[in-house]
Amino acid sequence: MKWVELKDVAEVSAGNPAPQAASDFSSSGKPFVRMQDVGRGHHTRALVETADRVSADAIRNNRLRLFSAGTLLIPKSGASINLNHRALLARDAYVVSHLATVVPDTSRVDPEYLYFWSLTYDPRSQAQTTSLPSLPTSLIKAAQIPVPPLEEQQCIIDLLSRAEGIVRLRREAQRKAAELVPALFLDMFGDPASNPKGWPVVALGELLAACDYGTSKKASTDDAGVPVLRMGNVSYEGDLLLDNVKHVMLDESKFERQALESGDLLFNRTNSKELVGKTGIWDGRWPAVAASYFIRLRVDQARVLPIYAWAVMNSKDMKKRLFATARGAIGQSNINTKELKRLPCSVPPIELQRQFAAKADAVRGIAAQQTAALATAQATFDALLHRSFSPA
């Protein structure tokens, strides 16, 4: 199989600076792809929806370039480089300058083949690290890609599409399983926003035995020391993921003070407004500490159980309150412990919470099975991907 530089089979450039006036965007405008649109799905083979639509006047005044369907998008500046997002346009769209645009020569490479290849391309180690990472398009242009005949490319696309479809179905099953606990919470306790069952409501701080920040120590270079949980270890559903866990060096006295216990909640205190408040619950499977952008919440279990507090923190009502409370610079918001402790929390009888905990454990067992099935499907897809794009 022939290997060539990406620039030999595609035009590699970048999008345009985003227009700045509010009047430059309208619901009747043309799709304008920002980094958040690419990040929404992490890996998206058919990007159609965009949060913003740019007006005809803005397109003309800013001389924006229209990119055709089949263009591959790769983050080239900002923190999203480290997340390694990918997207393939499924419709013509305008693109922000933070994204590299890869327009394939379709006489030599199929856009979907290019997309699947891009999942094996990891430029994070090449990114220039200043205040924010940046990835020069020259490095993307120099990336090596295998280019078999188009017929063989189509066979690879068909195989990987089937495997990806299984992953997608498993992920959907996992998502539905994750929705069971919130549904159970609403059924047993009612919506916290209206508190239809009239439970007593107190400030969250009254229910806590501890509320403090995690460690600001940098990760060790050799994975020696104490495991530290970071924001990437908390899923959107609030489950704690144990892949890519880093380590830090802490002296014995400080580790004892910051050590996590089973049932501790990890509250994400700073990020975009959409992610502030994402809360995980620790099961204590091994010694660990939390990173500094978490607030560790340890509840008074005589009044509230950890799984109930976790469900409250991840409820729609609490998310809405957190969104209103978060403050900070554009694109980066935060909540401190003082603000967090003031948030209201309903307190049903502890026996009812115990019943909820027992049912939630059973439901989370189903979710764990779906997670394991997803992991197996993902591993199969990854193996096929590696085999398809590795040198013989």
Per DSSP, the residues of 9-32 read TEEEEE-BPPP-SGGGEEEEEEEE
Are 268 and 228 a contacting pair, CB within 8 Å?
Answer: no
pTM above 0.75, yes or no: no
Give me the CATH code for the 3-146 domain, please: 3.90.220.20
* pLDDT (average), residues 167-194: 92
* CATH fold match for the domains 3-146 and 200-347: yes
60-69, 163-172, 238-247, 250-259: least confidently modelled range: 238-247
Q: Is the pLDDT of residue 330 over 50?
A: no
Q: At what angle do helices 306-313 and 350-389 cross, to 10 degrees?
A: 70
Percent of the chain with pLDDT over 70: 90
Task: Identify the pLDDT of residue 292.
Answer: 82
Q: How far apart are CA 65 and CA 87, in angstroms?
A: 18
Please identify, in words, the CATH class of the domain defined by 200-347: alpha beta
Query: The tokens 């400030």 sit on which residue?
Result: 203
Instruction: Take residue 68 and report the two structure tokens written for it.
Output: 């055709």
Enumerate the domain spans of the chain.
Answer: 3-146, 148-179+348-392, 200-347
Per-residue pLDDT reduced to its tens digit, 187-200: 999 999 999 999 99
Task: Identify the pLDDT of residue 258.
Answer: 84
Q: Is the pLDDT of residue 47 over 50?
A: yes
Q: How far apart are CA 32 and CA 37, in angstroms?
A: 9
Are 345 and 207 a contacting pair, CB within 8 Å?
Answer: yes
Per-residue pLDDT reduced to its tens digit, 213-237: 888 778 777 777 788 887 767 665 5
Q: Is the pLDDT of residue 273 over 70?
A: no
Residues 6+ apart with CB under 8 A from 233: 240, 241, 242, 243, 244, 245, 280
